[in-house]
Amino acid sequence: MNALTLVLLTPLLGALILGLIRPPPLAGWFNLGVSALSLAAALWLAWSVALVSDLPGDLGGPGAINGPIAGSLAGDIFGLPFRVDAFNVYLVVLTAFVALTTSVFSRPYMRYVLAIGRIGPRRLRTYHSMYQLFMFTMLVALTTDNLGVMWVAVEGATLATVLLVSLYRTPEAVEAAWKYFILCGVGIALALFGTVLTYFAAQQVISDPAAGLNWSTLYTEAGRLEPAVMRLAFVFLLVGYGTKVGLVPMHQWLPDAHSEGPTPMSAVLSGLLLNVALYAVVRLKMLVDGSLAHTDNPHLAGYLLMGFGLTSFLVAGLFLHRQRDIKRMFSYSSIEHMGLMTFGFGLGGPLATFGALLHMLVHSLTKSAIFVTVGHATHIAGTQAIEQIRGLIRTQPTVGWSLLIGVAAIAGFPPFGVFMSEFLLLTATMKTAPWFTLVLLSGLAVAFAGLFRHLHPMVYGTPPEGQQPVAANMIPVAVHLTLVLWLGLAIPAFLANWLDRATGLITGTRLL
């Protein structure tokens, strides 16, 4: 558990110290250092989980039913139960990794923002402190075993980011932040109602009141939880956490918050926060599936996820076409991909779940790379309006090419990783629900067209007079896109095994 303590403590202490550090250049470097330390701790944690879950007698061969409680590390920190297994440690590592690369990008980016006077040093301090606090809340939400603490952490993530969205204090930014705050606040309040109902259901079967909110306890007792209560609870939980996932029609906050906040924030919101919310939904779906297993409609939770997922996927794909702000456009693309993942998790089955997990990874990597590139592009053009961003490839080839490659990757071109995961999801759909394949394919085509019709002039058009390149740090983009490319060409064995183990935890059946 030492690794976990380190994972959680690093960003928390980092946030506290960053709240005190005055000189901006130092804070940027310190932020980077804290993120690097977090990643190291996360890798250590992953390593210890890998050691535990490889114990003999645990996860058996392909097709074996695994207890999800086995193969996980449990422990208490300050009396709070934490539990780390293959599923959440995967997201912990991803979170820490994207946090690190984004902090690499954010250092020069925020210095530039400071230099042009959009923010003062005090707000920069808030920014850095909140950045780490946000990481802390996400990591707590991922690793905690207690559903109540998870709720508190997800709400905490909203609170930590809401000031960042309004960082620039323009009327638009304030409006976006207010929308974000109110909508997510309401959504998350509904999720708390769902949590209360879950706890109520648990109390009828679990004698220890303190353990009634522990996911692991609930999961072992899931079959005895009252189905009617759990059904209602799940609807509230799905609507609540779904608001944070950005599912249509609760997505209204997402494009605004992404477009008006600082770009590094957009990268982590899109790449990480949405994942965490989806993680919560999947965990809760596992509970509900257990509870509803013997009722008339055992896949209710799955159907709900499929419905919400598909709606988000299609609606966001259509909205891509009418965007005029580059960051808004990519946030709709995030909604689209989150919809696809939600659909995949709803479909259930090892193949779809594996695909969705992989998609989480490649989407996070690609989308944060894109937002980083977009950040540079907006600095080059001095605006976020798509119409005025022109000829990137001539002004600054690295940014232009990165945007082109990133969009190609996110649109699902082979040989990138997104293609792999989308292919897996399509195959799974073809197997279980063939009719939806057509819908998915047309949705992908619509989204593809939407992205490229805006992309082409931005990359190839004639640059306006006097457009100058900016100092850009393209290392994070290069790393991310290389990883995505690598994942598209060949998934390394350890990662496949890891994802497979997570799939085993979620569906009870392993794929490989």
Partner 1 sequence: MNLSLLPLLQQLVLVLAAIVLFLSFVLLAQNRLISAIHAFAWQGALVAAVTTVVAATGHIHHLYFSAALTLALKALLIPWMLHRLVRRLELERHTESLQSPTLVTMAAVALVIFSYWLVLPMIQEELTFTRNIVAISLAVVLIGLLMMVFRTQAVAQVLGFMSMENGLFLAAVSATGGMPLVVELGVAFDVLVAMVLFGVFFLQIRESIDSLDVDRLNRLRETGGDQ
Residues within the interface to partner 1 (CB under 8 A)? 79-80, 146, 148-149, 151-152, 155-156, 159, 162-163, 166, 169-172, 174-179, 181-182, 185-186, 189-190, 192-193, 195-197, 199-200, 203, 209-210, 212-213, 226, 228-229, 232, 255-256, 259-260, 319, 321-322, 324
- Distance, CA of 384 to CA of 201 (rounded, Å): 49
Token pair 């259930």: residue: 348
Minimal distance, residue 189 CB to partner 1, in Å: 5
Select from 346, 235, 342 the least CA-distant residue to 299: 346
How far, in Å, CA of 199 to CA of 185, rounded? 21
Q: 204 or 482, CB closer to partner 1? A: 204
Tell me the C-alpha distance between 159 and 146, whole Å. 20
Distance CA 423, CA 355 (A): 8
Nearer to partner 1, 118 or 321 (CB): 321
Contact 182, 190 (CB under 8 A): no
Tokens of 419: 């293609």
Q: What's the closest the beta carbon of residue 162 comes to partner 1, in angstroms? A: 6
Nearest distance in Å: CB 445, partner 1: 19
**Least Cβ distance, residue 253 to partner 1 (angstroms):** 10
**Of all helices (H) and strands (E), which one includes residue 84?**
strand 80-84
Residue matched to tokens 């599936």: 289
- Closer by beta carbon to partner 1, 316 or else 341: 316
Count of CB atoms situated within 10 Å of the CB of 51: 10
Nearer to partner 1, 228 or 490 (CB): 228
DSSP 111-179: HHHHHTTSS-HHHHHHHHHHHHHHHHHHHHHHHBSBHHHHHHHHHHHHHHHHHHHTTT--HHHHHHHHH
- Closer Cβ to partner 1, 151 or 416, answer by number: 151
Considering beta carbons, is residue 75 or 414 the nearer one to partner 1?
75
Least Å distance between CB 47 and partner 1? Answer: 29
Residue 81 CB, nearest distance to partner 1 (Å)?
10
Closest distance of CB 227 from partner 1, Å? 10
Q: How far is 139 from 188, CA to CA, in rounded Å?
A: 18
- Which residue is listed with tokens 């039913």? 65
Cβ distance to partner 1 smaller for residue 170 or 442: 170
Q: Which CB, 58 or 226, lies closer to partner 1?
A: 226
Nearer to partner 1, 152 or 372 (CB): 152
Q: Judged by CB, which is closer to partner 1: 21, or 174?
A: 174
Distances in Å between the Cα of 351 and the Cα atoms of 274, 425, 483, 498 are 22, 7, 22, 14
- Least distance CB 205 / partner 1 (angstroms): 13
Shortest Å, Cβ 159 to partner 1: 5
Bridge partners of residue 84, in order along the sequence: 73
C-alpha–C-alpha distance, residues 368 and 457, integer Å: 22
Angstrom distance (rounded) from CA 503 to CA 512: 10
Tokens of 28: 């940027």
Q: CB 449 → partner 1: shortest distance, Å?
A: 14
Angle, helix 227-245 to helix 300-319, in steps of 10 degrees: 20
Query: How wide is the angle at C-alpha 183 spanned by C-alphas 181 and 185, nearest 5°?
Result: 60
